[in-house]
């Protein structure tokens, strides 16, 4: 669902943008888990990683139509990415995570101990 919905929306939006001939912006909202794994979140991480690569493929395929595609997060960044000032940003991830990525993949405290490492 995390990946299917984004794919279908991007596909429909791209068709309309191509038909209009005016280019456009597609912004896919992902998560730090597009890059950083988390124990117990395999399907979610796989979907977010898939969304990252889908965005990059779309960026390549839609460039000739003046359409940029960016995975991103948070409203202010989305507003920037959707606007004309971001006309040169495409296929790149913009991390707006409050430093979560710097703390490591288990930063949310999903584990109470390191026992999972020893099996």
b/e map 1-21, b = 16+ CB within 10 Å: ebbeebeeebeebbeebbeee
Residues in Cβ contact with 69 at an 8 Å cutoff, skipping those fewer than 6 apart: 10, 25, 26, 27, 28, 55, 56, 58, 59, 62, 90, 91
Q: Which position has the token pair 């000739």?
A: 64
Assess whether 44 carries a catalytic annotation. yes
* φ, ψ (nearest 5 deg) of residue 57: -65, -45
- Euclidean distance between CA atoms 11 and 15, whole angstroms: 6
Q: Which residue of the set 44, 65, 88, 95 is catalytic?
A: 44
Q: Which residues participate in catalysis according to the annotation?
A: 44
């Amino acid at each position: 669902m995390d990946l299917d919905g984004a794919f279908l929306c991007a596909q429909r939006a791209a068709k309309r943008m191509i038909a209009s001939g005016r280019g456009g912006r597609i912004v896919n909202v992902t998560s730090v888990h597009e890059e950083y794994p988390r124990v117990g979140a395999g399907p979610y991480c796989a979907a977010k990683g898939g969304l990252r690569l889908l965005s990059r493929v779309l960026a390549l395929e839609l460039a000739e139509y003046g359409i940029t595609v960016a995975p991103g997060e948070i409203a202010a960044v989305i507003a920037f990415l959707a606007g004309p000032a971001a006309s040169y940003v495409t296929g790149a991830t913009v991390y707006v995570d409050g430093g979560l990525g710097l703390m490591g993949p288990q930063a949310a405290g999903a584990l109470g101990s390191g026992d999972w490492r020893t099996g």
